[in-house]
Amino acid sequence: MASVVPLKEEKLLEVELGELPSWILMRDFTPSGIAGAFQRGYYRYYNEYVNVKRGSIARLSLVLAAYVVFNYRRSHKELKHERPRKYH
Amino acid sequence: MNENLFASFITPMMFGLPLVTLIVLFPSLLFPTSNRLVNNRLISLQQWMLQLVSKQMMSIHNTKGQTWALMLMSLILFIGSTNLLGLLPHSFTPTTQLSMNLGMAIPLWAGAVITGFRNKTKASLAHFLPQGTPTPLIPMLVIIETISLLIQPVALAVRLTANITAGHLLIHLIGGATLALMSINTTTALITFIILILLTVLEFAVAMIQAYVFTLLVSLYLHDNT
């Protein structure tokens, strides 16, 4: 159960299941910590999808497809009534 | 169908949180900034396009008018990207809300007019009376010119709102009609074709921004620098 790397610096996918509660409690929940988490997430998106030397249309369409799916989930409740069913 | 037609124009909220802020900020994710001289493909393309547009638009102005270049370029980018993103299925277009367009139009127009009045008072006041009008017509013409000046921001905002909203509504309607006619065969092909053409024409929502910024630009030019 003990891991080689200290618990605080492990990424989420490498934390073992028994250690998960203590991992969650140990994360930095101060405002600057949360801002840091957003920044890290944004730079992961940026470096993988935007900052590529010879980007292609496929990457951009992936981002736009994710946007479409996000909007579909958001408006699912109203769209449910438009299905061609006998009983809605 | 009746309630659902306008349901896509409701401001999106999720659990009472204003999701609309995220949607308005989303186009900025697609325009990255960089400090390098030689950038990646995406940024190079955007820089090239921006240079093309700004050269074409700001060339008419003198030095004082060209200080507005940043503002106008960001305006055209924002409206263009928001309109184009609104063409994706199920997305929400912020520019369909009159509140937002008024919020963009009124401050910019007011800034141009006030700059004109402060720096060239006589010339700005002289705009209210075209040259060579016969004397009896003068009072009426001054009133008409004042009204046409005051209606400019409202026209800017309403033009943008009405165009984008009408386009989206037409797409909804014709798409719904196509679906309904799917069981009756021969007409569907024709109508699907009409949808295609309409979408392409609507993709000249980019031309809409052109109209917006250009009109704003012309007004700025006339008031500020003449």
What's this model's pTM, rounded to 2 decimal places?
A: 0.79
CB contact under 8 A, A72 and B90: yes
Compute the nearest-CA separation of A29 from chain B (Å).
21
Burial of B222 by CB count in 10 Å (0-12 exposed, 13-18 middle, 19+ buried)?
middle
CB contact under 8 A, A82 and B4: yes
Calculate the CA B56 to chain-centre distance: 18
Angle at the Cα of B111 (from B108 to B114), degrees rounded to 5?
Answer: 150
Q: What percent of chain A has pLDDT over 70?
A: 44
Q: Which member of B4, B29, B179 has the closest CB to residue A78?
A: B4
CA–CA separation, B45 vs A54, rounded Å?
11
Chain A nearest-CA residue for B4: A78
CB contact under 8 A, A84 and B91: no
Q: CB contact, 8 Å: B37 with chain A?
A: no
Helix then strand count (H, E) for chain A reads: 4, 0
Helix (H, G, I), strand (E, B) or coil at A54: coil
Residue B129, pLDDT score: 75
The answer to whether the CB of B90 falls within 8 A of the CB of A72 is: yes
Residue B92: CB atoms within 10 Å = 22
Stretch B137-146: mean pLDDT: 86
Q: CB contact, 8 Å: B36 with chain A?
A: no
Q: What is the pLDDT of residues B36-93, one digit of tens each?
A: 888 778 888 889 988 998 888 777 777 777 888 888 888 888 888 888 888 888 888 8
Residue B152 has pLDDT above 80, yes or no: yes
Q: What is the pLDDT of residues B105-131, one digit of tens each?
A: 888 888 888 888 888 888 777 777 777
CB contact under 8 A, B88 and A71: yes
**Where would I find the H helices in chain B?**
2-5, 20-25, 41-58, 69-85, 98-119, 121-126, 138-150, 152-180, 185-202, 205-225
The answer to whether the CB of B172 falls within 8 A of the CB of B8 is: yes
Highest-confidence range of A12-21, B170-179, B211-220, by mean pLDDT?
Answer: B170-179
Stretch A1-29: mean pLDDT: 60
Q: Which of A39, A45, A71 to mutate to test the interface with B (most CBs of B within 10 A)?
A: A71
CB contact under 8 A, A72 and B19: no
